[in-house]
Amino acid sequence: MPQLRFIFLLSTAVFAVFLATSTAQAHHGWAWATDEEFEITGVIQSVRLGNPHGEVTIRADGEDWVVEVGQPWRNERVGLTREMLSEGREITVHGHRSAREGERLVKAERVVIDGQDFNLYPGRAS
């Protein structure tokens, strides 16, 4: 009976570690995005700023796209404020779109609002 309990606890621990690492890898980083540069211009529909990153939904050519902008500290560092990301404003996003067919999701490297550039990842080689 002690061996059965040990096997159960070990299996549970291995599963928990697997689940935690696969969830973290699926969300963070750039692995989910294509290597191809992508640009889209649209009108901001909604904004959710915060951690782990902000999300701005834009409408372009009749379709809604979710744009991942930086973490709060990253946006602040480049001067990108909540007021600049307000609903109804036009925004151009330069970055990388999702590699999943049909998914309208973009990881922004740089955004342009009112002719002003905000380079979220200045040290990143595109």
Number of H helices, E strands in the chain: 2, 6
Let me know if residue 21 belongs to a domain.
no
Q: Tell me the average pLDDT of the chain.
A: 86
Integer Cα distance of 59 and 62 in angstroms: 6
Backbone angles phi, psi at 20, to 5 degrees: -65, -45
Let me know if residue 20 belongs to a domain.
no
pTM of the model: 0.74
Band (48; pLDDT cuts 50, 70, 90): very high
Count of residues in the chain: 126
Q: Domain count for the chain, please give it.
A: 1
Let me know if residue 26 belongs to a domain.
no
Let me know if residue 6 belongs to a domain.
no
Integer Cα distance of 47 and 104 in angstroms: 16
For residue 100, what are the domain limits? 33-119
Average pLDDT over residues 9-33: 61
Whether residue 91 has pLDDT greater than 90: yes
CATH number, domain containing residue 104: 2.40.50.1010
Band (25; pLDDT cuts 50, 70, 90): very low
pLDDT of residue 27: 46
Whether residue 24 has pLDDT greater than 50: no
